[in-house]
Structure 1
Amino acid sequence: MSTSPMKESIPTLANATPIALEIPPSPRTHRALRRLQSAHTLGQSSNQPSLITQQHKQALQRNLSPASNPPSTSRHTRGRSNSDATNMTPPNLGSAGRRPLLRKKSNVADQLSLVQLVRDGPPDGDLIGALDSARLKILSQGIKSDTDGMSSLRIYVWLILLNAPVLETDSYLALIHRGASPAYSKIRNDTFRTLATDPLFRRRVSEASLIRLLNAVAWKLHDAKEERAENLAKSAGKINTANMQGSPELQSTTPALKSRARALTLTTEGSDAGGSEPGTYVQGMNVLAAPFLYAARSEAEAFVAFHRFITNECPGYVRGAMDGVHKGLALVDKVLAIVDPKLSLYLIGKGMTAELYAFPSVLTLCACTPPLPQVLRLWDFLFAYGAHLNILCIVAQLVILRNSILSSPSPTKILRSFPPLQSETIIQVTLTIIKKIPDDVYAEIVSHAK
């Protein structure tokens, strides 16, 4: 999302239980050890323990395990054996390319609970510090909820993280009272099968409320497109008026150029090419809206959070061509090839690309995979650190299934429907593999849904 933290500031859980991913160790792990040993030898003449010595001890304590603390791979340059010692500088937690384990700077908001931060607002007006602290609390402690995933706090945390505007209930009711939107028939074709096998969702959220929410969003998006079309028409009218009055620039052009400019204007008026507005409704929006209705305490809250999410976080997912979803699927293949080349080659050899098995998971941010309480916990993490991380969460699920996939002659059966979500495990694996993603690929992940 636009206000989500940078890659370098996403922490690793210090107390997380290491997960055996059974991924072959990278050759960079051994090169890192050799560099540290070489630098340690060069620094032994000093009376004071060198930075290399301290880093060596820290590396030995962590054992440089690829599962618990993988080496940074953002810069793919081959180091030199001895001269690396002069390049070993103290970690700068604020510099680009560094991945701190935990934020060291003391923060007043750290002393408050997540409930207090939401209720009382940022202490001393420190909004950045309060958001930073809230994200870390969500990652390390989670949002307290019951066994059904219900929490009185969650929807307000989501609204804050999404930077959703304040909306009066009357504004939502006004959209409902307008009746059926142009997308109403498409909405009715999808709502009855939304999470149809999830008893928690069916018990708490009615189909009528889902229809009202999606229909109101469709009206809102329809109005936005109408407003954009009017603005384009006004701009075209001003240009035509200037032409009739005879601007010196256009008077000097040839009739052919004038005709071409007019044709281009007429084509642009009725086109959404290059626009950032999503369509009024595409299949899959019903599943995306479901967790918002389940977590919210009113339809109006769910409406403003969902509308903000699809227009600001993933407009590319709900445009007619779903270009953002297809970019995300290509990134799943690319990231898997980086994280686990053997698994990637095996799936490609079986003709299994992400387009065949990951489309629902990309489009719905894994909301298509039960159970719903685990979806809500995963969304807490995604909204805190960026919904684009869903791409890595999907790769994390493939890594968790690695042994089963490699030992299966037909992985299609395994990937036809993903196993039940285990949000904590997925988050831990995601935090592990994120350190292996090159910065240019990570930039593609951040922007793919826009």
Structure 2
Amino acid sequence: MPSPTREYIPTLAPSLMTELHAPPSPRTHRQLRKLQSAHNLGAAARGSIGQPPGLISQQRLRELQARDVSPTRRAVSNRSPQRNRANSDASSPVNLVPTTAAALARHRSAMSKTSAAADVMSLERLIRDGPPDSDLQAALESARLKVLDQGIKSDSDGMSSIRIYVWLIFLNAPILDTDVYLGLIHRGASPAYSKIRNDTFRTLTTDPLFRRRVSEASLIRLLNAVAWRLHDAKEQRRPPSSRQSLPASDGTGSRPTTAHSSTSSPAAKNRARALTLTTEGESEAGAPEPGTYVQGMNVLAAPFLYAARSEVEAFIAFHQLLTKEVPGYIRGAMTGVHRGLALVDKVLAIVDPKLSLHLMAKGLSAEIYAFPSVLTLCACTPPLPEVLRLWDFLFAYGPHLNIFCIVAQLIMMRGELLRSPSPNKLLRSFPALQADQIKRTALAMVKMVPDDVYSETVRHAL
């Protein structure tokens, strides 16, 4: 379902907000202007979005364009425009104040009206029984608030019986017949198969929870099926004369039987080997098709397989994320990722100019240290249960908020980074995720950036 626009993203009560820094001095603005060239590195890419956004993103953009900027800013924050930027002279680390039930109740009352019937229901019952009074929008708003306030109940390993269904709802994923997924599997090796095989064995190798629950064969099947779907969509956009002669798909996604598919033929043996997806080798279909698979998709797919109760659920959720929410991450030269990296630099310069200047002085732009975090929505940083909790928030309020979550991690490392003569060593691998603190810091920063920067963040992955 459509993600909420900026004015409906909750802001913590003033006593709970992350107090980043005081208003800046005039000297701070001069320093910010010096950073402009570095932050404009992604400007050309930002203006080159050529393909239309998905339904969810279209709705989000329409709502952003329709709103009156000034009243919206006043509605979401009591701060004056001068408080949009931070004080570069501040030296104390960010003070993260834990939330309280009373403050959460205050910010809930400031939100758009939710269904009273949905508010008294648990998230589990709301997912099971559906929206009371058939009020879908109010039930969605209530579900988002429940995810933000209470989280999704899970065990110490991050396992939950309802998480995948919450994700499917927030991602507006369609119902998929299992036979369609099986049909994609039975087509054998996709054009990206050899590239997939080069990545899957390295997926979250240091995470025992993932390795215990998800097999490499399962990950290969999922990525191969997604690669077929993306390939087919790309081929449909090509002129008929330029389409590749690859195995065709029938209504269920499986290939028709031909005279060359006897069980004794070499091609049949290769297809059987691809079906098991457990042996080495490359696809006979040729080199991976550009735009159907990029390195890093294996890590982005991993949490879906871990949280889902079946491969089909993981497949449709993952495919929906790629094609409707972050298509720019896998298109061409991954221009969406590079736009996201430029935004990490820009947002950091707005909320903490001193830290931004320190990193830039060391030659540390986001392109150097944040590429995996942008591409994988922070799934590259353990532990996995914290990744799942962070994704609950991102899917509820929009994956574009991952940009703020990455900056939030930098803010949480602020003291160490400023004290370190070589901050690149600290940024080689981010500290363990702390989803709750990251969310609180990110929500505070959302209200600090100008409207045009936030709008750019919404669009960057499309």
TM superposition score category, shorter chain reference: 0.7 to 0.9
CA distance in 1, matches of 2:155, 2:24: 41
Is residue 183 of structure 1 aligned with residue 221 of structure 2?
no
1:222 is displaced (CA, Å) by: 1.0
Tell me the CA shift for residue 25 of structure 1. 4.5
Of 218, 222, 238 in structure 2, the residue corresponding to residue 229 of structure 1 is 238
Among 391, 403, 413, the alignment partner of 2:403 is: 391
In structure 2, distance between residues paired with 1:335 and 1:76: 11
Q: Does 1:103 align with 2:111?
A: yes
Q: Which residue is equivalent to 1:9?
A: 8
The alignment partner of 1:436 has SS state of coil
- 1:151 corresponds to 2:150: no
Report the Cα distance in structure 1 between the residues aligned to 2:78 and 2:370, rounded to whole angstroms: 26
Range 423-432 or range 115-124, more displaced:
115-124
Q: Which has the higher contact order (CA 8 A, sep 6+)?
A: 2
Q: Report how far residue 325 of structure 1 moved.
A: 0.2
Q: Which amino acid in structure 2 is aligned with residue 414 of structure 1? A: L
The C-alpha deviation readout for 1:408-436, integer Å capped at 9, x for no partner, is 00100111110000000000001111110
Task: Tell me how far 1:112 sits from its aligned partner.
Answer: 1.3
Match of 2:104 in 1: none
Q: Which residue of 1 aligns with 2:423?
A: 411
Equivalent AA in structure 1 for residue 6 of structure 2: K
Superposition pairs of residues 48-447 of structure 1, within 5 angstroms: 71=79, 73=81, 102-103=110-111, 105-107=113-115, 108-230=117-239, 279-447=291-459
Q: Which residue identity lines up with residue 167 of structure 1 in the other structure?
A: L
Q: How far off its partner does 1:13 sit? A: 3.7
Other-structure match for 1:246: none
Structure 1 residues 74 and 138: CA distance shift in structure 2, 3 A: farther
Amino acid at match of 1:338: I
Contact 1:75–1:438 (CA<8 Å) still a contact in 2? no
How far is the alpha carbon of 1:76 from its aligned partner?
A: 7.4
1:286 is matched by which residue type in structure 2?
Answer: N
Gaps of 5+ in 1: 29-68, 78-98, 235-276
Alignment deviations for residues 31-72 of structure 1 (CA, whole Å, 9 cap, x no partner): xxxxxxxxxxxxxxxxxxxxxxxxxxxxxxxxxxxxxx8725
Distance 1:317 1:20 in 2: 32
Q: 1:391 to 1:76 in 2, by over 3 A?
A: closer
Three-state SS of the structure 2 residue aligned to 1:220 is helix
Identity percentage of aligned residues: 70
Deviation, structure 1 residue 322:
0.3
Kept after mapping to 2: 8 A contact 1:393/1:430:
yes
1:100–1:448 distance in 2 versus 1, CA, 3 Å: farther
2: CA distance, partners of 1:426 / 1:214:
29
| In 2: Cα distance, 1:76 partner to 1:206 partner | 47
Q: What secondary structure does 1:444 align onto?
A: helix
Q: Which residue of 2 aligns with 1:87?
A: none
Q: Deviations over 1:276-325 (max 9, x none)?
A: x9821110100000000000000000000000110000000011300000
**Offset at residue 148 of structure 1 (A):** 0.2
- Residues 154/358 of structure 1: CA separation in 2 closer, same or farther (3 Å cut): same
Is the 8 Å Cα contact of residues 278 and 316 (structure 1) preserved in structure 2?
no
CA displacement, residues 221-249 of structure 1 (integer Å, 9 cap, x when unaligned): 11111212147989xxxxxxxxxxxxxxx
Distance change >3 Å, CA 187–CA 436, structure 1 → 2 = same
Shift of 1:115: 1.1
The answer to whether the 8 Å contact 1:72/1:436 transfers is no
Contact 2:17 2:441 in 1 (8 A): no
Write the distance in 2 (CA, Å) between the matches of 1:442 and 1:281. 28
Contact 2:189 2:224 in 1 (8 A): yes
Once the 2 structures are TM-superposed, how far is the Cα of residue 9 of structure 1 from its aligned partner?
Answer: 0.9
CA distance in 2, matches of 1:442, 1:199: 37
- SS of the aligned residue for 2:447 comes to helix
Residue 395 to residue 76, structure 1, CA distance change in 2 (3 Å): closer
* Per-residue CA distance 1:98-137 (angstroms, 9 max, x = gap): x997326352311211111111111111111011110000
Would the alpha carbon gap of residues 72 and 304 (structure 1) be closer, same or farther in structure 2, given more than 3 Å must change? farther
Change in CA separation of 1:370 and 1:101 when aligned onto 2, cut-off 3 Å: farther
**Runs (4+) of structure 1 moved beyond 2 Å?**
12-21, 23-28, 69-77, 99-102, 230-234
Instruction: Work out the CA distance in 1 between the residues paired with 2:433 and 2:349.
Output: 23
Find the aligned partners of 1:16 and 1:137 in 2 and give their Cα distance.
21
- For structure 2, which runs of at least 5 residues remain unmatched after alignment? 27-76, 86-106, 244-288
Q: SS of the counterpart of 1:109?
A: helix
Corresponding residue pairs, total: 345
Question: Does the CA contact (< 8 Å) of 2:325 and 2:399 recur in 1?
Answer: yes
TM-score, normalised on structure 2?
A: 0.71
- Give the 3-state SS of the residue equivalent to 2:110 in structure 1: coil
